[in-house]
Amino acid sequence: MGTLMRLGIFSHNFQGRQVLVTGGTRGIGRCISKMMADAGAKVLITGTQTDWDLCDENINYRKVDFGIQEDLDNFLDYAADINFDICVNNAAINIKNTLNDLNNDDWSEVLKVNVTAPFQIIKEVSLNMKKNMYGRIVNISSLWSFMSASRRGAYAASKHALNGLTITSAAELAPYNVLVNSLSPGFVMTDMTQSMLTDDEIENITHNIPLKRMATPKEIATVACFLASSHNTYITGQNIIADGGFSTCRG
């Protein structure tokens, strides 16, 4: 499961930890879930599909649509009975449209899934973390949380807000040894990326990345696992950017 796993750095780091990964059925979320489970964690993942094919003794699945308030409320009631040590807020949606064509319902749905759900989840899981004087929360943000492009109004706004939530949560939870960070990936070569972009579009994007390639999901997951691990003892309130230099080093 990647270089760090082969070296054993995470081999027992998550042993016995209770972990929540929202949006954990594919891409980055799937890799995070598998890495932590392989390192001994008990992982609960959420997704919108009816069931999931990778459940085992260390991974459980629960269907949740965070765009539906009743679903979110029911999940929060369920999660209240689990003593989570680690929470990874990865679930997100993106509805692309220009500001003039973006309707209020789409705007609200993006904000509900990308900001409101993480806010309410952090409120819930942090209660036990504070009692235990230990916790790690990682919010999967985006390159578009600090820059943007056309047709990303709702998504960019939601990720900017998520970073703000990260900073506030980090400040409030620091006295309880609960560390909260955002992780902002750049372009990642997932199945969704390959299905949505043509070869020419992928080539144009990678041309503008100093490393001349997109990240793999495992590369991003490895950073998330470090932030969520007990190896991280002093990083909190930060937005960690993993974009191959795209945002700062373009020629």
Q: Output the domain CATH number for residue 86.
A: 3.40.50.720
Distance from chain centroid for Cα 43: 14
- pLDDT at 1 > cutoff 60: no
For residue 157, what are its two tokens? 């706004």
Read off the DSSP letter of residue 152: B
Closest CA to 13 of 239, 238, 169, 226: 226
**163 is a domain residue:** yes
Residue 195 has a pLDDT of 76
> Which pLDDT does position 52 carry in this prediction?
76
**Residue 53 within any structural domain of the chain:** yes
- Residues assigned a catalytic role: 155
User: For 167-220, what is each residue's pLDDT tens digit?
Assistant: 999 999 999 999 999 999 999 998 878 877 899 999 999 999 999 999 999 999
Complete DSSP assignment for 163-210: HHHHHHHHHHHGGGTEEEEEEEE--B--HHHHHHS-HHHHHHHHHTST
Question: Which residue has 């020629």 as its token pair?
Answer: 251
Residue 137 is assigned to a structural domain of this protein = yes
How does pLDDT run across 70-118, given as a tens digit for each residue?
999 999 999 999 999 999 999 999 888 888 889 999 989 999 999 999 9
Return the closest-CA partner of residue 185 out of 215, 165, 211.
215
Q: Identify whether 44 is part of a domain.
A: yes
Is the full-model pTM beyond 0.85? yes
What length is written for the chain?
A: 251
Could you give the percent of the chain with pLDDT greater than 70?
Answer: 94
Radius of gyration in angstroms for the set of CA atoms belonging to the chain, rounded to a whole number: 17
Tell me what pLDDT residue 3 has.
46
Name the domain count of the chain. 1
What is the distance between the alpha carbons of residues 16 and 194, in angstroms, rounded to a whole number? 36
Decide if 159 is inside a domain.
yes
Q: Give residue for tokens 């993993």.
A: 242
Confidence of residue 43 (pLDDT cuts 50, 70, 90): very high
Closest C-alpha to 24, from 231, 250, 228 = 228
Q: What is the pLDDT of residue 184?
A: 97
Which domain range does residue 237 map to? Answer: 3-190+217-242
Whether 203 is covered by a domain: the verdict is: no
What is the overall mean pLDDT for the chain?
A: 92
